[in-house]
């Protein structure tokens, strides 16, 4: 196997992760993600290009701003490293389908970004969830999960997956609100699961919901058992759905076999 595309993907993925850090900070604040350029969150001085190399610059500067010497969160290089590894893994998983792999890398970036935003604000920006939905439909013609179908059929399968994801999550949200008398699933989560269905079909939407619910339940039990939350406290569900969606890009499990 030629490892060169994977290595290149790691490098560019980490650079993409640097942009995601900007996106995560500015999008909820309705600020431009283009201007101004990267700057220190403490002294607001511009960051020089040689101090903006993903992961490496943070390590070289020992996690501090070169000018004001105040600490820079380790979250920044963590996102860069995570995105670099994800991009490399995606191109390793789909070595012969670079258009699809590129699209999936962008989708994973959006999923990482919306996870961090949801974790901080309990809201998922429409720009990311609806953008993912549109990308999933647009790339249905090169989607390897729909490889046995002609382009019109692949587009239909993608659209059907979005409908199934929307219907399942909407039903859960409505039923949960009826029984619990409170919001059980946010509308941002509903749109996110519709987007997942557009990328991985109806089976993938079902798998994502099951994986996300399982992981979210474990986290919820942990919070309750450690006294960090009450049963009535809401938790961000987007990160767990996003984790399930990223898993789908590597493997579709047979959990949703009735929807095949």
Mean pLDDT of all residues in 140-156: 93
**Does pLDDT of 1 surpass 90?**
no
Distance CA 140, CA 148 (A): 12
Identify the helix (H) or strand (E) that includes residue 84: helix 75-93
CB 70, CB 42: distance < 8 Å:
yes
Q: pLDDT grade, residue 107 (50/70/90)?
A: very high
pLDDT of the residue at 73: 93
Nearest alpha-carbon partner for 240 in 185, 202, 162? 185
Burial 57-77 (b: 16+ CB within 10 A, else e): bbeeeeeebbeeeeebeeebb
What pLDDT digit, counting tens, does each position of 216-242 carry?
Answer: 999 999 998 988 888 777 789 999 999
pLDDT, position 258: 59
- Looking at every residue in the chain, the average pLDDT score rounds to 91
H or E stretch covering 5: helix 4-26
* Residue 71 φ/ψ, nearest 5 degrees: -70, 140
- Rounded Cα distance, 38 and 119, in Å: 23
| Rounded CA separation 235/239 (Å) | 10
pLDDT above 90 covers what percent of the chain? 70
Using 50, 70 and 90 to split pLDDT, how confident is the model at 89? very high
Give the tokens for residue 221. Answer: 């039990």
Give the model's confidence band at 5: pLDDT under 50 very low, under 70 low, under 90 confident, else very high: confident
Q: Report, as an integer, the average pLDDT of 36-59.
A: 90
Using one digit for the tens of pLDDT, what is the confidence trace for 20-40? 999 999 999 999 988 888 888
* pLDDT for residue 54: 95
Q: Which one is predicted more confidently, 48 or 107?
A: 107
pLDDT of residue 38: 86
Q: Which of 152, 249, 256 is nearest to 213 (CA)?
A: 256
Identify the DSSP state of 74.
T
Beta bridge partners of 46: 39
The CA distance from 212 to 230, in Å, is 20
Look at residue 179 and give its three-state secondary structure: helix
161-185: per-residue pLDDT in tens?
Answer: 999 999 999 998 888 777 766 666 7
Distant-in-sequence contacts of 59-63, Cβ < 8 A, 24+ apart: none
- Residue 257 pLDDT more than 70? no
DSSP-assigned letter for residue 52: -
Q: What pLDDT, on a 0 to 100 scale, did the predictor assign at position 203?
A: 93
User: Which pair of structure tokens corresponds to residue 61?
Assistant: 């500067």
Structure-model confidence comparison of residues 174 and 104, the more confident one? 104
The per-residue pLDDT for 189 is 93
Structure tokens at 49: 């290009």
Q: Cα–Cα distance between 245 and 241 in angstroms, integer?
A: 6
For residues 154 and 140, give the distance between their C-alpha atoms in angstroms, rounded to a whole number: 6
The pair of three-digit structure tokens given for residue 62, joined into one six-digit string: 């020992």
Average pLDDT over residues 83-109: 96
Q: Which pLDDT value is given to residue 184?
A: 66
Mean pLDDT of 152-157: 95
**Six-digit token pair at 41?**
């969150």
Cα 126 versus chain centre, distance: 13
Residue 58 has pLDDT above 70, yes or no: yes
């Amino acid at each position: 196997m030629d490892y060169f595309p994977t290595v290149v993907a790691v490098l560019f993925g980490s650079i993409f992760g640097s942009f995601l850090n900007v996106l995560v900070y500015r999008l909820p604040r309705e600020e431009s993600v283009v201007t101004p350029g990267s700057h220190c969150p403490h002294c607001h001085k511009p960051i020089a290009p040689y101090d903006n190399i993903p992961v490496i610059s943070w390590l070289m500067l020992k996690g501090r701003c070169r000018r004001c010497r105040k600490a820079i969160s380790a979250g920044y290089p963590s996102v860069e490293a995570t995105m670099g590894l994800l991009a490399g893994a995606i191109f390793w998983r789909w070595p012969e389908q670079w258009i699809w792999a590129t699209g999936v890398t962008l989708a994973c970036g959006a999923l990482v970004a919306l996870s961090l935003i949801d974790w901080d604000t309990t809201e998922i920006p429409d720009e990311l969830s609806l953008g993912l939905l549109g990308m999933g439909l647009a790339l249905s013609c090169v989607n390897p999960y729909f490889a046995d179908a002609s382009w019109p059929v692949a587009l239909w399968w993608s659209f059907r997956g979005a409908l199934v994801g929307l219907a399942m999550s909407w039903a859960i949200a409505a039923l949960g609100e009826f029984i619990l008398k409170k919001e059980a699933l946010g509308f941002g989560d509903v749109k996110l699961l519709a987007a997942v269905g557009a990328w991985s079909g109806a089976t993938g939407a079902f798998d994502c919901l099951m994986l996300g619910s399982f992981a979210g339940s474990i986290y919820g039990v942990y919070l309750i058992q450690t006294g960090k939350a009450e049963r009535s406290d809401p938790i961000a569900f987007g990160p767990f759905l996003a984790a399930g969606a990223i898993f789908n890009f590597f493997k579709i499990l047979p959990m949703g076999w009735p929807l095949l």
